[in-house]
Structure 1
Amino acid sequence: MTEETPSAGEAAPSVLVVDDDSWTTRAVTAVLRDTDEFHVLDPVHCGEDAVEAYAAKRPDIVLMDVNMPPGMSGVDATKAIMDIDPDARVLLLTTVSPGPGIARGLEAGALAVVNKTAGDEELTSVVRAALQGDSPGLLRTLAEDIVISGDTIPEAPREAPQLTERELQLLAHLCRGSDYEEIAAAEFLTVHTVKSHARNLRIKLQAKNLAQLVVRSLQFKFYSPE
């Protein structure tokens, strides 16, 4: 994937950072602003303000802390933002050790998880990738992080569908965060075919996006991190 910066006259993608810790918002905001690639909005520090800011400013990306006591959690704020705009792009911010709320945040519609202590390049790379849309590359270590977090995985919306052996293989690749090109090479398929299978898997498992596909895979025990 090529990394592009906004051309002259093109508005920079807008980013909203949400965290109850002002030190975290300062650090994340500074990293993103220093790239000169993003228009970073003034950060907010609670779920209620995040929803209000999203409704008013419609940022391209929201970096959302999962737990923000005592008010609205990041999970509930993500749900509210997705109600406002089903196409909203929300990335969950987590602590050093993935904590509770990851699975529920992804179930609410978040695209991926990024660690608050991630290096500058990792943080900006995740934001860039999310701006390009739903991508398997955003899923690396996600299944492991959900399991490590000890979070209660939400109940699946229905009984497990029947998947073919090929579908289970492709699902495992996606859960490991392999990109479409890597999966195509491993399975001797075209990238177009892999994307078609991924789309069909989302339909069969009732997943809004690829991150939710990982949650479904754990719910139905189609995939288990090694």
Structure 2
Amino acid sequence: MKIVIADDHAVVRSGFSMILNYQEDMEVVATAADGHEAFQKVSEHQPDVILMDLSMPPGESGLISTGKIHETFPETKILILTMHDDEEYLFHVLKNGAKGYILKNAPDEELIQAVRTINNGETYIAPKMATSLVNKFVKSDGEVNTSDPLQILSQRELEILPLVAKGYGNKDIAEKLYVSVKTVEAHKSKIMEKLELNSKPELVEYALKKKLIDF
């Protein structure tokens, strides 16, 4: 199977490539340092599986690119590989097309098993996170969690919020996302309104607290 690895750390990309390339049925055909590059590599190589890190500062996060890749290249299975053992992230990426979720500190054997599992069309959830997923479904009553930005913000707003928090101006954001400056301004207003924030510092603090950006 053809595999792409997306992670902002070169040593992580090299380590995972070595593990997977050692398997007779696997070949890492490309690596990427952020979500935008991951999308390009998937477009170029049409891999069977992509390993996607969630947090890849300062580029586009895996949280955003997962939905884009799934929508454009549905045949490519997405395995989230992250340090975040957070049920909010798990629930969101599964709803947006990911087929697996594994923690970075998992043993090599579990990583290999997860890749083979999702390549066979099944879903793989790290055992530690499986209970959280079940509890999320059991407790869900259909109401929106107003403390969860992944539920109350749109996909586009989730793209814009981290960029605003990182200090990008309206024009820079518009160019990155291929939209107009007026569209960016409108989304920023909606974000502030939905999250009940009043200033840029509050938005930065919120983004850090919810792990939408890293220091």
Q: How many angstroms apart in 1 are the aligned matches of 2:58 and 2:132?
A: 24
Counterpart contact for 1:103–1:153, Cα < 8 Å: no
Q: List per-residue Cα deviations over 1:174-209 (Å, max 9, x = no partner).
A: xxxxxxxxxxxxxxxxxxxxxxxxxxxxxxxxxxxx
How far has the Cα of 1:119 moved from its partner? Answer: 1.3
How far has the Cα of 1:94 moved from its partner? Answer: 1.0
How far has the Cα of 1:80 moved from its partner? Answer: 1.1
Q: Which moved more, 1:138-147 or 1:29-38?
A: 138-147
Which residue number in structure 1 is paired with residue 47 of structure 2?
A: 59
Residues 72/26 of structure 1: CA separation in 2 closer, same or farther (3 Å cut): same
- Length-normalised TM-score, structure 2: 0.58
Which residue number in structure 2 is paired with residue 108 of structure 1?
A: 96
Counterpart contact for 2:7–2:52, Cα < 8 Å: yes
How far has the Cα of 1:153 moved from its partner? Answer: 7.7
1:119-134 equivalent positions in 2, closer than 5 A: 119-134=107-122
Unaligned runs of 5+ in 1: 1-12, 157-226
Residues 119/69 of structure 1: CA separation in 2 closer, same or farther (3 Å cut): same
How far has the Cα of 1:111 moved from its partner? Answer: 0.8
Q: Which moved more, 1:81-90 or 1:50-59?
A: 81-90
Q: How many angstroms apart in 1 are the aligned matches of 2:91 and 2:119?
A: 22
Q: Secondary structure at the match of 2:31?
A: coil
- Length-normalised TM-score, structure 1: 0.55
Q: Which amino acid aligns with 1:88?
A: T
| Number of residue pairs aligned between Structure 1 and Structure 2 | 140
Residues 64/52 of structure 1: CA separation in 2 closer, same or farther (3 Å cut): same
How far has the Cα of 1:139 moved from its partner? Answer: 6.2
Which residue number in structure 1 is paired with residue 13 of structure 2?
A: 25
Q: Identity over the aligned pairs, expressed in percent?
A: 26
Q: How many angstroms apart in 2 are the aligned matches of 1:132 and 1:76?
A: 25
Q: How many angstroms apart in 2 are the aligned matches of 1:30 and 1:152?
A: 37
Q: Which structure features the higher share of helix residues?
A: 2
How far has the Cα of 1:42 moved from its partner? Answer: 2.6
Q: How many angstroms apart in 1 are the aligned matches of 2:97 and 2:105?
A: 23
Which residue number in structure 1 is paired with residue 76 of structure 2?
A: 88
Unaligned runs of 5+ in 2: 136-146, 153-215
